[in-house]
Every structure is written in structure tokens, then in C-alpha cells.
Amino acid sequence: MAGALCDTIMLTGFALATLVITGFELDVTWALIGVVWVAFFSTIVRYLMAKKRG
């Protein structure tokens, strides 16, 4: 779970930096939905990888 949290923080920071540089405005609701989806996807991928390892 710690890895999934690091993934979420890293990708969220990258996305926010990209939005600031480009000047693109994003609704807060969509930003929060994106963060939740990143966290969900990262957790699922890490869980499946750990399950495959044994």
C-alpha cells in the first residue's frame, strides 16, 4: 500500500505541474476523481503483481 500511495503522490504532482505549466484549468471535482482513480488503479495493479509473485 505504501507503493500505491507513492505512485498516487508522484502522478498527482506530475499532473499538477503539467497543468500549471500549460495553464489549463480543471474543475476541482474532476481533479479529485482523477486522484481517486489513480489510487484505485495503482492499488489494483500492485495487488495483482504481489498475488502473482506468491
pLDDT in tens, 20-52: 999 999 899 999 999 999 999 999 999 999 999
Q: Above 90 in pLDDT, residue 2? A: no
Cell, residue 28: 476541482
Q: Crossing angle, helix 28-53 and helix 2-22, to 10 degrees?
A: 140
Residue-number span of the structural domain to which 31 is assigned = 2-53
Q: 48: which residues sit within 8 A by CB, 6+ positions away?
A: none
Could you count the other beta carbons within 10 Å of the beta carbon of residue 42? Answer: 19
Instruction: Give 1's pLDDT tier (boundaries 50, 70, 90).
Output: confident
Helices (H), 1-54: 2-22, 28-53
Total number of domains constituting the chain: 1
